[in-house]
């Protein structure tokens, strides 16, 4: 029964965090909050999509930068640009709003502003530059980096949900409920394992950097809007993804 429950939770995370055509299953007690342990595994699927696109581009002889952009495009398609959307909304809200209520209203607006555009440009350029630099280290390094980035970045989300209260009384993150401690610890362990191919020292340093970045961002969210929204999770993932890719450049090159 527990194996069936875990599979249902994995499918739920794949269905939410990716655009993979998975059939929904009935979740056990605890619902989607308890399923958050599988967020890094959904990230692995996204990272694998990026790896396949990078390999195809390099096989065609397109060069490091086109291959890097192809990998990023594949990850965005695989995830539905879910986290990129969150990053843009947070940048617009935190940058353009005068009060917490203003910031939350801007974040809920489907239109994108100059802060959001600039945040997306910087995010894409940072990640593409890191992947282009990793090309010299070979396919194994790029594969390890993409999987580590997408798994470890999503591994931080359950702990963030536990540490930071919802900023709204309505919304997706409010309806999620409390993430169990075991789910957050399991996600963190999966993210840590994904970092090990970078080398033990680099993995420990990167995990510490992710923890510090998450703590600082949690403080920023509390100060700006009094808590978190789903968009904050997207911004957290994007920052973590870029950080891990840069750490991989340092480790492999």
Cβ neighbours of residue 81 closer than 8 Å, sequence gap 6 or more: none
- Specify the pLDDT at position 165: 93
- Specify the pLDDT at position 29: 63
Q: Which of 47, 55, 252 is nearest to 134 (CA)?
A: 252
- Spatial distance between the Cα atoms of 248 and 253, rounded to a whole number of angstroms: 8
Residues present in the chain in total = 253
In the chain, where are the structural domains located? 42-252
- Specify the pLDDT at position 110: 87
DSSP 218-249: HHHHHHHHSSB-HHHHHHHHHHHHHHHHHHHH
- What's the burial of 235, exposed, middle or buried (CB within 10 Å: 0-12/13-18/19+)? buried
Q: What is the pLDDT along the chain (253 residues), one digit of tens a residue?
A: 477 788 888 999 999 999 998 877 767 666 889 999 999 999 999 999 999 999 999 999 999 999 999 999 999 999 999 999 999 999 999 999 999 999 999 999 989 999 999 999 999 999 999 999 999 999 999 999 999 999 999 999 999 999 999 998 776 666 567 899 999 999 999 999 999 999 999 999 999 999 999 999 999 999 999 999 999 999 999 999 999 999 999 999 8
- Spatial distance between the Cα atoms of 36 and 230, rounded to a whole number of angstroms: 13
pTM over 0.85: yes
- Specify the pLDDT at position 227: 95
Do 126 and 112 touch, CB atoms closer than 8 A?
no
Q: How far is CA 178 from CA 155, 161, 201, in A?
A: 16, 8, 33
- Specify the pLDDT at position 133: 98
């Amino acid at each position: 029964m527990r194996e069936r429950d875990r599979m249902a939770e994995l499918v739920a995370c794949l269905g939410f965090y990716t655009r993979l055509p998975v059939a929904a299953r009935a979740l056990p007690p605890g619902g989607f909050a308890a399923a958050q342990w599988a967020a890094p595994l959904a990230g692995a699927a996204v990272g694998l999509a990026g790896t396949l696109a990078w390999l195809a581009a390099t096989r065609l002889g397109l060069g490091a930068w086109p291959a890097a952009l192809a990998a990023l495009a594949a990850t965005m398609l695989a995830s539905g640009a879910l986290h990129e959307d969150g990053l843009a909304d947070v940048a617009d809200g935190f940058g353009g709003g005068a009060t917490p209520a203003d910031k939350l209203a801007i974040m809920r607006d489907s239109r994108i502003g100059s802060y959001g555009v600039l945040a997306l440009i910087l995010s894409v350029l940072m990640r593409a530059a890191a992947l282009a630099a990793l090309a010299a280290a070979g396919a194994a390094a790029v594969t390890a980096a993409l999987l580590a980035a997408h798994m470890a970045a999503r591994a931080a989300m359950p702990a963030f949900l536990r540490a930071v209260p919802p900023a709204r009384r309505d919304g997706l993150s409010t309806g999620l409920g409390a993430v169990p401690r075991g789910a957050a610890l399991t996600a963190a362990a999966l993210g840590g394992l994904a970092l090990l191919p970078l080398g033990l020292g680099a993995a420990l340093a990167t995990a510490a950097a992710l923890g510090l970045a998450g703590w600082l961002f949690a403080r920023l969210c509390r100060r700006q809007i009094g808590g978190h929204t789903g968009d904050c999770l997207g911004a957290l993932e994007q920052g973590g993804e870029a950080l891990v890719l840069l750490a991989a450049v340092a480790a492999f090159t």
